[in-house]
Structure formats: C-alpha cells, structure tokens
Amino acid sequence: MKPWKSLSESRNEQMMELKASLSKIEEMKKKIEELEMALQNCQNRIESLEVNEGRWKEELHYS
C-alpha cells in the first residue's frame, strides 16, 4: 500500500466531494424556492382574510 495518494487520486476525491456539495446546494435551492412559494401563498391568504374581515366588520356595523 502507498502511504500517500497520487495527485490524480486526490484530485478525483476532491472533484467527487465538490460534486456532492454542489448537488446538496442545488437541493437546498429547490427547497428554498418551495418554501418561498409556500410563504407567498400564506401571505396572500392572510391578505385575503384581512380583506374579508374588514368587509364583515362593515356589514356588522351597518346591520
């Protein structure tokens, strides 16, 4: 056995690690996009509920 790795072995290992890291980063980007869309949907729903609340309060006030 060699007590040291060849330069090409070391480079190959580094490339594999970089590819794995890049893959994880891409997965996280997709998850962030999904979470941002879910957050936007929640914000839209809250705005809609607030508008409806205002209408209900007006109806109660005038009834």
Answer whether residue 43 is part of any domain.
yes
Domain membership of residue 18 (yes or no) is no
Assigned domain for 8 exists: no
To the nearest whole number, what is the mean pLDDT of the chain? 91
Range of the domain at 59: 26-63
pLDDT for residue 16: 96
Q: What are the helix (H) ranges across the chain?
A: 7-62
| Residue 47 lies inside a defined structural domain of this protein | yes
1 falls within a domain: no
Q: What is the pLDDT of residue 59?
A: 84
Is residue 63 assigned to a domain? yes
Q: What are phi and psi of 42, to 5 degrees?
A: -65, -40
Place of tokens 């979470």: 35
Tally of domains in the chain? 1
Domain-located, residue 20: no
CA atoms within 13 A on the CB side of 62: 5
Inside any domain, residue 34 = yes
Q: How far is CA 61 from CA 30, 33, 50, 53, 56, in A?
A: 47, 42, 16, 12, 8
- List the pLDDT tens digit at each of the 63 positions of the chain: 556 778 889 899 999 999 999 999 999 999 999 999 999 999 999 999 999 998 898 888 887
Single pTM value for the model:
0.68
